[in-house]
Amino acid sequence: GAGVSQSPSNKVTEKGKDVELRCDPISGHTALYWYRQSLGQGLEFLIYFQGNSAPDKSGLPSDRFSAERTGGSVSTLTIQRTQQEDSAVYLCASSLISGSYGYTFGSGTRLTVV
């Protein structure tokens, strides 16, 4: 597609429920990133995928968070047993390759845990 697409744009969930957030990167971009942005804060790195290499999961805050990328394209970020502190905007970005190129970000998924 023309840009990075994320869905849903907004998600309200009850504490303890699992949620899945989807990211469709730009076609041909081999690198895909997930970041989290709390209200009024900067971007916190979560995980990134580069081609067929093992993902860098070093930013995931707990084992309740996981992500996968199928076929080198679409990615899903899953949060299990959501907590109120998980409330944030989850941003996905893609780039041609990792490291030395700017990212193109999606508009994010605003997650609210009640």
Applying CB under 8 A, the residues found at the interface with another protein are 4, 31, 33, 35, 41-43, 45, 48, 50, 56, 59, 91, 93, 98-100, 102-108
- Report CA-CA distances (Å) from 9 to 20, 66, 90: 12, 19, 10
Q: Cβ 15 to another protein, closest distance in Å?
A: 25
| Cα dihedral 34/90/13/61 (nearest 10) | 50
| Tally of CB atoms within 10 A around 74 | 14
Q: Cβ 81 to another protein, closest distance in Å?
A: 26
Nearer to another protein, 57 or 81 (CB): 57
Nearer to another protein, 4 or 113 (CB): 4
